[in-house]
Chain A
Amino acid sequence: MKKLLLAVVIMTIATASYAQTYTFQNIRKTSHRSSDAIKEGTDVKGYYFFNVTDKIDKNTNEYTLSIFDNNLKVLKEIKFQDSKDISILESSFNGTDLIFLFYNSDAKTFEYQIYGADGKKKSYSYTRQLTKKEKRYLESTYLAVNDDEKTYKGLYPIDGRGFISNMPSREDKDYTFQVDYFSTEKKKQWTFTPTEGGKKFSGDYLGYFNGTVYFEVLRFSGAFDQKPDSYIIGLDLETGKQVFEKPTDAKYRFYPASLSVLNDGKAYIYGEYFDLNDNIAKDKSKGFAFWGIDEKGKILGEKYNSWDLELGKFLDVNSKGKITDFGYMFLHNMVQTSDGSIYAIGEGYKKVASALGIAATLLTRNSNISTIKVKVTDMMMIKFDKDFNVKEAKIYDKNSNSVELQSGYDFVSGPLIAKMIKYYYGEFDYSYTQINKDLSSFTVCYSDYVRGKDYKGSTFNSISYNEGKITTDRINTKSNASRSWVLPAKLGQVLIIEYFKKDKQLEMHLEKLN
């Protein structure tokens, strides 16, 4: 403290700073949860840091919420008092307004607070009271997962108007999901929760187009239903009422992953497809499908590209969809560029024998290690033209890493194991994909580990598209820091955070990717 004040005394000899680094002093503990990127879609617009700065009484803390822009310049520091049990779960930006989701674990409440473009907190907020059952369900789903892509999380921005929230929910014995709309124009909210015709529902937000919010829904008749109904629903943004429900079983069973509006102003959904009788949790996909769809749910066109025919021309693919050495592809994301081209980004995985698991099984009857393990292999990018024909497919080499599995996985299908690796083990190297608003460039980021002559350690890698050109880049992230991690930054950049335990110092710096 005294040194700090002495520093004030000699502040007159300080010179102006111009580098884009920021340092926090006197940080004793670090946690991923207390800081995050604030995004508008995939684009990072800033960062928040949420810290306890004082204890007011045994039940109350003083908190400081520091908001930085994406150049690491301080925009605002907000101090407030609240229960010691609150945390921030999510944030999002819709081009004008900023939203934070606060969770009070003791009172079992969610509170959505909104800050306007003028930096002032709106006079209204939105709250949701959880039941004990809902809380328990969320603790095993939404609150348990913290992967970079925020798979089970979502506060999706609707440009200048509000935010769509998608969260797992539970009503008595039914497991479902809850969609909320929070307006930022005035206090207005609606909620949609599917409960009819099934016992269990899962929903993925696809996108927003012409006043309609699109969701992909899986409806399970019971807890052990292996062949759920798959369909798309459209919700009216103004009222929250369901506009349409469209089954995705047509020629094939289609499982859309995302929605994009193409240059001609039409909405397209795309993702993997399966045979009609396939079990999407177990069976391999047939390839990629694209559907044109309007705001009333009318299908305007369909296109299917199979692994063995269309994709096989570019890759060494066998009839089971397995690519030699690469294994199977787990689809992480799909993006579309301004020329209409669509890129699918995936990562390879294959099942191999586990020496550790086999030895453990031989030595002890009750080994809890599986005799197979999963080898996570390379990255892959597939390019489709605007008519959804495969134009190119390329594998990007990286070091493979192995994931030992618990016993019982020996006979489980590859795709299901891949989902476990992604959501449970978090062992894929893929980090995230960002695309800019005018769709002229995107960046795919993933981590790797290099054992080279010049460098041995972790790396952060990128595959970037800019105006038709693809480039790759690598940043060596090994440093003298006690801990370091990478947060997404604005498109084409990353924020590297390094914690120096000895100096109780947290350093952040932005780096551009090439």
Chain B
Amino acid sequence: MTKPTINTGLKLILILLFLAPHLCAYNQQKPVYKFQHDDSLLKTSYFKEASDQQKKLISSLDKEFKDDYKYIYESRFKEVSGLLQSNRAVTDPVAHQYLQSILKKITDVNPELKTLQVRLVFSRDWWPNAYSMGEGTLAVNAGLMINLNNEAELVFVLCHELAHFYLDHSNKAIRKNVEALNSAAFKAEMKRISKQEYNAGKQLDSLVSLVSYGFRRHSRDNEAEADRYAFAFMKRTGYDCNGILTCLRLLDKIDESNFSKPLVLEQVFNFDDYPFKKKWIQKESMIFGQMGNDDSPLAQKEKDSLKTHPDCENRIAFLTDSIRAVEAGKIFIVNEPYFNQLKKDFLVEMTEQLYRDKNLSRNLYYCLLMLQDKENLQFAIYSIARGLNLAYESQKDHRLGMIVGKEGREYAADYNLLLRMFDKIRLNEIADLNNFFCRYYQVLMTGYEGFEEEYSKARKFKTQ
């Protein structure tokens, strides 16, 4: 699968790279929700395996461009460690075994994959994606899993990531790009530009565009190749290859909303004694307010590039004929009931992980959707009460901005409304809202661990 696409310029990429470690800082607060039981031995063994591999890789580096390779490989390993050493990775024996069973279905019929040293895990991350780190670690995020319809779609996702790893795309790209950046031609061009008194910026921009275009084009070629190989791997498994098309269609729309209906804030935060205030989500005049309405091909291209999974339409078109030519298989082979149960569990796991990662706006978004759909109701109510209290405390200390996002064109409309509400709601209104919220659900929540504590906090804040 493709990674979150960030196309707002090279500066932003650097910023994200600098911000990412801070944003994922783990919250030490004692959790009331209990995660699935993770297998710490498995985690340790996966981490040790990855760590040994990393040491071997670094020690085997040639002198040539050693610093550049080291910089990239260490950055990559930091991400791998972040996954395997935190509670983001799901190693609950049942869930893990289920994933390995599906992996086995693929490797059993594709002998070329058997020799690969793969560490495949589910992760509790919210963003709808799966990825191969290029050194053997593969992950399927809970945010993707909750959207998939069947095992066939999951098999395509795994085949695609296995293809990237089998074809060594990540390492080949690193080598190609490091060599390009250290080539005599590139260095000479850099030296020439640095001596220019005029137009140096323009020439440098052109050079950066040329090089990064090469990176991007290479990356798109890799995606297409991974799709082709994924199809070849999948058609031998007995799973229905139409799952490729349904999965890609799903990925194309995945940023819009994960639930049957969008979140309606006016309903979930409306109480007889404390009606919803329309001003919380009132739209204001915006600079370039009509820019998003531009339907020109260029604007459509820009909108597509903002998606978590761009270019899906082309990927569908590229594979459709080949898929139609093969016999339809099954959409479930390993365990249909468990697949469906896992989706439900992962929604809660992912939502709780968001709270621990201090991504409060996303955490509340999923909790409110669950409340609206009456799914995992008590967990949702408790989490909303807890989240609103955290919002109050953070706003009081002028830190709410660090845990709540801001509206953006890349987000679903209902999520943007929640962000707008957090942008406008006053401190005393958060306290009032939570107080009425807790009071409304008090009877239903009788005996739910932690709820009374949050309600009492909300009452205290209201009087401050």
Counting CB contacts under 8 A, is A6 at the interface? yes
Counting CB contacts under 8 A, is A62 at the interface? yes
Cα distance A56–B199 when bound, in Å?
5
Cα distance A306–B148 when bound, in Å?
73
Counting CB contacts under 8 A, is B285 at the interface? yes
**Could you tell me if B15 and A512 are in contact, using CB atoms closer than 8 angstroms?**
no
Counting CB contacts under 8 A, is B185 at the interface? no
What's the nearest-Cβ distance from chain B to residue A462, in Å? 11
Counting CB contacts under 8 A, is A363 at the interface? no
Cα distance A43–B424 when bound, in Å?
13
**Could you tell me if B198 and A13 are in contact, using CB atoms closer than 8 angstroms?**
no
**Could you tell me if A13 and B428 are in contact, using CB atoms closer than 8 angstroms?**
no
Counting CB contacts under 8 A, is A239 at the interface? no
Tell which of A11, A45, A98, A466 touches B13, judged by Cβ atoms closer than 8 Å. A11
Q: In the complex, what residue of chain A is closest to B211 when comparing beta carbons?
A: A5
**Could you tell me if B291 and A118 are in contact, using CB atoms closer than 8 angstroms?**
yes
Counting CB contacts under 8 A, is A440 at the interface? yes
Tell which of A12, A19, A23 touches B405, judged by Cβ atoms closer than 8 Å. A19
What's the nearest-Cβ distance from chain A to residue B230, in Å? 18
What's the nearest-Cβ distance from chain B to residue A29, in Å? 16
- Pick from A66-74, A204-212, A240-248, A327-335 the stretch touching chain B: A66-74
Q: In the complex, what residue of chain B is closest to A55 when comparing beta carbons?
A: B198
Known A9-B177, A45-B287, A57-B198: A1·B396 in contact at CB below 8 Å = no
Q: In the complex, what residue of chain B is closest to A514 when comparing beta carbons?
A: B427
**Could you tell me if A55 and B197 are in contact, using CB atoms closer than 8 angstroms?**
yes
Contacts of B257-279 to chain A: CB distance below 8 A: 279
Main secondary structure of the interface of B (DSSP, over half): helix
Counting CB contacts under 8 A, is B4 at the interface? yes
Known A13-B133, A466-B426: A53·B201 in contact at CB below 8 Å = yes
**Could you tell me if A15 and B288 are in contact, using CB atoms closer than 8 angstroms?**
no
- Which residues from A are CB-within-8-Å of B60? none
Tell which of A5, A58, A440, A512 touches B181, judged by Cβ atoms closer than 8 Å. A5
What's the nearest-Cβ distance from chain A to residue B123, in Å? 11
**Could you tell me if B427 and A23 are in contact, using CB atoms closer than 8 angstroms?**
no
- Number of B interface residues at 8 Å Cβ cutoff, please give it: 77
What's the nearest-Cβ distance from chain B to residue A105, in Å? 21
Contacts of A1-46 to chain B: CB distance below 8 A: 1-25, 38, 40, 43, 45-46
Known A12-B170, A19-B401, A76-B288: A25·B11 in contact at CB below 8 Å = yes
**Could you tell me if A119 and B199 are in contact, using CB atoms closer than 8 angstroms?**
no
Counting CB contacts under 8 A, is B361 at the interface? yes
Tell which of B15, B170, B197 touches A25, judged by Cβ atoms closer than 8 Å. B15
Q: Which of B170, B405, B426 has the most CB of A within 10 A?
A: B426
Interface size classification for chain A = 35 or more
Cα distance A11–B79 when bound, in Å?
12
Tell which of B19, B72, B204, B284 touches A19, judged by Cβ atoms closer than 8 Å. B19
Counting CB contacts under 8 A, is A380 at the interface? no
What's the nearest-Cβ distance from chain B to residue A130, in Å? 29
Cα distance A209–B323 when bound, in Å?
67
- Which residues from B are CB-within-8-Å of A2? 68, 181
Binary CB contact string for chain B from 1 to 38 against chain A (1 if under 8 A, 0 otherwise): 00110101111011111111001100000000000000
**Could you tell me if A73 and B406 are in contact, using CB atoms closer than 8 angstroms?**
yes
Q: In the complex, what residue of chain B is closest to A160 when comparing beta carbons?
A: B285
Counting CB contacts under 8 A, is A50 at the interface? no
**Could you tell me if B181 and A55 are in contact, using CB atoms closer than 8 angstroms?**
no
**Could you tell me if B401 and A509 are in contact, using CB atoms closer than 8 angstroms?**
yes
Counting CB contacts under 8 A, is B294 at the interface? yes
Q: In the complex, what residue of chain A is closest to B72 when comparing beta carbons?
A: A10
Counting CB contacts under 8 A, is A414 at the interface? no
What's the nearest-Cβ distance from chain B to residue A18, in Å? 4
Q: In the complex, what residue of chain A is closest to B360 when comparing beta carbons?
A: A18
- Which residues from B are CB-within-8-Å of A116? 290
Binding site for A on B (CB under 8 A): 3-4, 6, 8-11, 13-20, 23-24, 68, 71-72, 75-76, 79, 127, 131, 133, 170, 173-174, 177-178, 181, 190, 197-202, 204, 208, 211-212, 215, 219, 279, 284-291, 293-294, 359, 361-362, 395-396, 398, 400-409, 423-424, 426-428
Cα distance A116–B289 when bound, in Å?
9
Counting CB contacts under 8 A, is A115 at the interface? yes
Tell which of A5, A67, A69 touches B208, judged by Cβ atoms closer than 8 Å. A5
**Could you tell me if A46 and B181 are in contact, using CB atoms closer than 8 angstroms?**
no
20 contacts between A and B (CB under 8 A): A1-B208, A5-B212, A9-B181, A11-B13, A11-B16, A15-B16, A15-B127, A17-B15, A20-B401, A20-B404, A45-B285, A57-B198, A69-B287, A73-B407, A76-B291, A118-B290, A466-B426, A511-B401, A512-B398, A514-B426
**Could you tell me if A72 and B406 are in contact, using CB atoms closer than 8 angstroms?**
yes
Counting CB contacts under 8 A, is A172 at the interface? no
**Could you tell me if A10 and B288 are in contact, using CB atoms closer than 8 angstroms?**
no
Q: In the complex, what residue of chain B is closest to A510 when comparing beta carbons?
A: B401
Tell which of B284, B287, B426, B427 touches A67, judged by Cβ atoms closer than 8 Å. B287
- Which residues from A are CB-within-8-Å of B201? 53-55, 62
- Which residues from B are CB-within-8-Å of A492? 424, 426
Known A9-B177, A15-B16, A19-B19: A471·B211 in contact at CB below 8 Å = no
**Could you tell me if A8 and B200 are in contact, using CB atoms closer than 8 angstroms?**
no
Name 4 extra pairs, CB < 8 A, besides A7-B10, A17-B20, A441-B426. Answer: A2-B181, A6-B71, A14-B20, A475-B398
What's the nearest-Cβ distance from chain B to residue A202, in Å? 32
What's the nearest-Cβ distance from chain A to residue B165, in Å? 13
**Could you tell me if B285 and A19 are in contact, using CB atoms closer than 8 angstroms?**
no
- Which residues from B are CB-within-8-Å of A7? 10, 13-14, 17
**Could you tell me if B287 and A118 are in contact, using CB atoms closer than 8 angstroms?**
no
**Could you tell me if A75 and B208 are in contact, using CB atoms closer than 8 angstroms?**
no
What's the nearest-Cβ distance from chain A to residue B464, in Å? 11
Cα distance A206–B325 when bound, in Å?
75
Q: Which of A3, A21, A67, A98 has the most CB of B within 10 A?
A: A21
Closest 5 pairs between A and B when the two form their complex, measured CB to CB: A54-B201, A71-B406, A119-B288, A117-B290, A18-B405
